[in-house]
Structure 1
Amino acid sequence: MACFFRRTIAQQLAKVCGQSEDVFIPLICAVPVSKKRSVGDLRVSVNSLVQNGAVLPHEDLQKNTETLAKQIKPNSVVEDVIAAPGMIYFRLNKLMLAQKVLKQLRSEPETFGLKSELLTHLHGGRTLVEFSSPNVAKKFHAGHLRSTFIGNFIANLKKALGKEVIRVNYLGDWGMQFGLLGAGFERFGCQQKLKVQALQHLYEVYVQVNREAEHDDNLRLAAAAFFRRLEQKEHQALSLWKQLVEITLEEYKRIYERLGVHFDHFSGESFYQSQTQNVLKDLKSRGLLKTTQKGTAVVDLSDADKSQSVHFQQLFHILSVMGHQWAHRCVHVAFGRVQGMSTRRGDVIFLEDVLEEARSRMLNNMRESRTSKDLEDPEETAERIGISAVVIQDFKGPLMSDYTFEWDKVLQAQGDTGVFLQYTHARLSSLLNRFGDEMMCGDLSPLTDSRSVSILQHLLRYDEILLQSATDLQPRHLVNFLMTLCHLVSSAHRELSVKGSAPDVAQARLCLFSATRSLLANGMRILGIIPVDKM
């Protein structure tokens, strides 16, 4: 409930500075939890106040800070105001902190933090997220893994923040590579094998036809002829193309279901084939389309776009010069490569092999663990945890960074891994199932100890983390927040016993653990992870 405390402090600052309290709200931040003794719970930078015109600049920053801090009086919400170098800290009433945070988390667990004043400008409107985009008639390669996870995260985040989200999967279902596959299937394909292992058979055909086309001119000519037949809508070629598209989509949908990913629209290059001539006419009429010496039509970006060599930057620039006002709102989220994601199946890494590997290894780890519970469906649980491990490994750092994938590190139960995230959620679920999770939060005065306060202080940062995530579309902020929360919970679980405690103490601690589990689950779902209750 950071907004309540932020608003209270903003009102105080507004009176002192003679400005609207709305000026101060985005400038007040929660203090990150650390092992050192906390100076305060919330803070404001005096430099940020000067830059936003809230206070007049002064040659002595520290004197300015101390003068301003003295003018802000403690009250029932803010117990102390502390001037530090260039910063003013606010120490909150810890009982009120527990009451405000836990009351909202218990009454509105699904929307905690989402109604914050920091996020109101993000509510409403529509966002289209296009992601994954594998090639039709090919097995889902692990190279599409990052696009799938990242796009799903962005779509989940935008939806949580109140956007109408449209999820689109733009498939590679047209072009000369399809001509090659079509010609290859007519030579080497088998309809019977399509019924048994469709994508595996198509992959084998594609590998074979590419290999033979390297030294067979007739095969290359046959590929070009097949694609011409497609463009001319020749019945036999079009019928084979439709069959392969439908087979592929069914396989992909099954894999997406395993990942917990869904789409509103499956589109593709073929859908826009009939519209390309209109686009070319538009470009030509605007004087943007030029013909090269080779006879190729291009949009020349050499003068206006020297530094923008990336495909999507060039695309957005073309859309802008074509007069589309929405072009400046288009964003491409770039990401690096994954190295070392090998499986027992061999060098070519297919996503389904990765999922099988994750499930198999996790299932084996669970069987060897003394703490694993009796599960109704251990394979389903192992799959969810395995996927969590892969997602968190992918999201821990900046998306532009390459990283090396190592199975043993990814599936560790200790450290900042998806397994640790799931373990913490399952541990809290077990505690709440044992002692009951249906009680109302009553007397919360037992939650003023350092362990409880650290968790509550950390929860204050949730809306800021969501804002940061929405601003740069990087999942690592949310991952780091959840990992810190899990470490705080792990320490509290060891020291704040429920069993054997006085009833009022036990109830207060259960309220804290229940609220924490709710927020942990919310954050996991935004990342694209389905929480497990047992493991």
Structure 2
Amino acid sequence: MACLFRRSIAAQLSRVLGISTEKLIPVVSAVPVSKKQQTLDFQVSVNSLLTNGYLKLGSNVQSQAKDLSEKLICDHVITEIAVGQRSINFKVNRSLLAEIVVQEVFKKGSKFGIVSELFSGYPCKRVIVEFSSPNIAKKFHAGHLRSTIIGNFIANLKQALGNHVIRMNYLGDWGLQFGLLGAGFQLFGSEEKLNANPLQHLFEVYVEVNKLAEDREDIQKAAQEFFKKLEHGEKQSVALWEHFRTISIEEYEKIYQRLGVHFDEYSGESLYQVKAQELLQLIDQRGLLKKTKQGVGVVDLSPTGDLSVYAKVVRSDGTSLYMTRDIAAAAHRMEKYNFDKMIYVTAKEQCTHFEQLFEVLKILGFNWSERCQHVSFGIVKGMKTRKGDVVFLEDVLNEARSRMLQNMAASKTTKELEDPASTAEKVGVAALIVQDFKGPLLSDYEFDWDRVLQSQGDTGVYLQYTHARLHSLQRQCGRGEERQFNPDCLQDPQAIALLQHLLRYDEVLHQVSEDLQPRHLVNYLIMLSRLASIAHRTLHIKGSLPEVATARLLLFKGISAVLANGMKLLGITPVEKM
């Protein structure tokens, strides 16, 4: 990929600065392709050289850039060196650019962009990613979509980079809500309705009992009583709870299959009721368990010890809390997996909870709490289906597929498909994912079906359309598995722009690996699709000389491969026809 070019530029700098080539490689970056014609390929920021101590503070930055550039020389790799704004810019041999980039795309395959000097020191570790985590006995709400696709993306990325990843779904399968549901089901539950539409019926029961509990103390007491029975292992209560849990997971797995998501482990709060009580004893033995005036057990997190900030760990009636079970779960996972990193993917409303969780773990002497990370995200506003306001993820997926089928049927360019519904599903899911990943994860955003499903612009539909179009081109002009080509046939501005953009792929993946923000990859793939569309219109294969046609077809094949790799990291299944 950019290996030879970065190394050559770093070697030139090494000769002048007396710093090792390896240390200088990271300061060499590919220049982003803009709409204006781009001529330079790489740049070195003088500020980054100063920050790293590779240049001494002295005269102004611009004059240092000029002085340094004059000591560098062109060779068979670097053909032009110029001073930019506080930077030194480099143009590389155009024939080498085409030859090396195209060859690397095919040679490295799915590892293109990952097998790079930028990841040479990347430690491969054992990583737990906890994501999705719906509450059992409730339908999978659209609000869980973000946790599911963000967590899946992080797991995909970590795995692609060589980590041993454990994908964990930590179900909300315990707590007072089950007291409410159990009491409600005993009052007006129906086995017949439960078998016919499990989660819908449980949702209706839960809504109904919640309404009653607002005004009736007997319902509240019945809920508390049911949960107490659960905590003490009373057979009938546990049997009902186990039934709810089993059918919930079966229903959720249907949704995960549609999203292309899988889990290595289904965990849950219920597994930690005993461990939570053991932990409470440990907290108490260490003198860390304090009581509020209401009798709630807490761990003091205030710097002055005045209980101005605390984490609740046990109810006044002695039953465990979400926090207690989370502490127990974290400790158990360290015992079981000895993880190097554990990433929790939940909404930003839970930021305080995780700050407190990590703080309590630290107070308890679990130094590995520093290996825990919370990746938070904002809320989606306005995600409604045609049916109404209460949005379940199943309804959202059905709506995306339905609307996409309509759009495909209305389009003149739609191909004959063996399974239009399956294609519409994949394109619809891509649309939902790209819409979600376009901005910073912490941002809330307004959902708009028409914008999400547009075939042009920065949408998942556009990525799928571009990928399908490039495959259509290959079907029409396929020349077997020819890998030999003349790089001089890829010197048109449109081809150069694509090659330059490919130079940046490893940098984008490296940036994403640092901050876990998928928007960098989404923006990169959108630009790749735009450049591919421009090239598709101008770099014709049919009617061109055989040598030119071969080179161009290879370039387009390479682009579709990189586009597919990037989409798969995002959790999108690329389609070859639409």
- Runs of 5+ unmatched residues, structure 2: 311-349
Check if 1:463 corresponds to 2:463: no
Shift of 1:5: 1.1
One-letter amino acid of the structure 1 residue matched with residue 401 of structure 2: R
Q: TM-score w.r.t. structure 1 length? A: 0.98
Mapped partners of 1:289, 1:109: distance in 2: 55
In 1, distance between residues paired with 2:356 and 2:148?
23
Letter in structure 2 aligned against 1:387: V
With over 3 angstroms needed to count, the CA separation of the structure-2 counterparts of 1:413 and 1:13, relative to structure 1, is: same
Moved more, 343-352 or 284-293: 284-293
Please give the secondary structure, in 1, of the residue aligned with 2:179.
Answer: helix
Measured against aligned partners, the alpha-carbon deviations of 1:206-258 in whole angstroms (never above 9, x if no partner) come to 11111122223222221111111111211111111101100000000110000
Q: Which residue of 2 aligns with 1:296?
A: 296
- Aligned partner of 2:20 in structure 1 is 20
Is the 1:98–1:456 Cα contact (8 Å) retained in structure 2?
Answer: yes
Cα deviation code 1:359-412 (max 9, x no counterpart): 000000000000000000000000000011011000000111111101001000
Which residue number in structure 1 is paired with residue 519 of structure 2?
Answer: 476
What amino acid does structure 1 have at the position aligned with 2:445?
A: Y
**1:127-526 aligned within 5 A:** 127-303=127-303, 310-436=352-478, 438-526=481-569
Q: How many residues align?
A: 535
Displacement of 1:427 after TM fit? 0.3
Structure 1 residue 512: Cα displacement: 0.4
Deviation at 1:143, TM superposition (A): 0.9
SS in 2 for 1:29: strand
How far off is 1:39 after superposition? 4.8
**Which letter does structure 2 place at the counterpart of 1:390?**
L
- Contact 1:132/1:169 (8 A) holds in 2: yes
Give the whole-Å Cα distance in 1 for the aligned partners of 2:492 and 2:123: 36
Q: Deviations over 1:460-511 (max 9, x none)?
A: 1111111111111111000000000000000000000011111000000011
Q: CA deviation at 1:454?
A: 0.4
Question: Given residue 171 of structure 1, which amino acid in structure 2 is its aligned partner?
Answer: L
Deviation at 1:302, TM superposition (A): 2.4
**CA 286–7 in structure 1, closer or farther in 2 if over 3 Å, else same:** farther
User: Which one is further off, 49-58 or 397-406?
Assistant: 49-58
The whole-number CA distance in structure 2 between the counterparts of 1:496 and 1:164 is: 42
Is the 1:122–1:162 Cα contact (8 Å) retained in structure 2?
A: no
- Structure 2 residue matching 1:373: 3-state secondary structure: coil
Q: How far off its partner does 1:128 sit?
A: 0.6
Quote the Cα distance in structure 2 between the aligned partners of 1:327 and 1:115.
Answer: 31
Q: Secondary structure at the match of 1:294?
A: coil
Contact residue 180 and residue 223 of structure 1 kept, 8 A: yes
Unaligned runs of 5+ in 1: none
| 1:4 CA drift (Å) | 2.0
SS in 2 for 1:283: helix
| SS in structure 2 at match of 1:356 | helix
| CA distance in 2 between partners of 1:123 and 1:447 (Å) | 37
Q: Is the 8 A contact 1:175 1:227 kept in 2?
A: yes
**What's the C-alpha RMSD, in Å, of the aligned pairs?**
1.5
Distance 2:158 2:452 in 1: 27
CA distance in 1, matches of 2:150, 2:22: 33
Deviations 1:165-203 (A, max 9, x none): 111011110111101101111111111111111111111
Moved more, 452-461 or 100-109: 100-109
- Give the Cα–Cα distance (whole angstroms) in 1 for the partners of residues 522 and 507 of structure 2: 13
CA contact (8 A) 2:95 2:488 kept: yes
| Superposed displacement of residue 274, structure 1 | 1.0
- Deviation at residue 283 of structure 1 after TM alignment: 2.4
C-alpha separation in 1, matches of 2:290 and 2:386: 50
Q: Which runs of 4+ in 1 moved over 3 A?
A: 304-309
Using a 3 Å threshold, how does the CA distance of structure 1 residues 204 and 306 change in structure 2: closer, same or farther?
closer
Equivalent AA in structure 2 for residue 375 of structure 1 = L
CA distance in structure 1 between the partners assigned to 2:85 and 2:154 by the alignment? 37
Give the deviation of 1:415 after TM superposition: 0.6
1:286 and 1:100, CA in 2 relative to 1: closer, same or farther beyond 3 A? farther
Tell me if structure 1 keeps the 8 A contact 2:137–2:202.
yes
Contact 2:108 2:115 in 1 (8 A): no
**More divergent stretch after superposition (42-51 vs 323-332):** 323-332
Residue equivalent to 2:124? 124
Cα 1:39–1:373 change in 2 (3 A) is closer
Q: CA separation in 2, counterparts of 1:526 and 1:158?
A: 10
Contact in 2 for aligned 1:109/1:515 (Cα 8 Å): no
- TM superposition shift of 1:59: 1.5
- Look up the SS of the partner of 2:290 in the other structure: strand
TM-score by length of 2: 0.90
SS at match of 1:118: helix
In structure 2, the residue corresponding to 1:173 is in which secondary structure?
coil
| Distance in 2 (alpha carbons) for counterparts of 1:371 and 1:390 | 22
Identify the residue that residue 54 of structure 2 maps to in structure 1. 54
| Mapped contact 1:39–1:89 kept (Cα < 8 A) | no
Identity between Structure 1 and Structure 2 (%): 55
Tell me by how many angstroms 1:306 deviates.
7.0
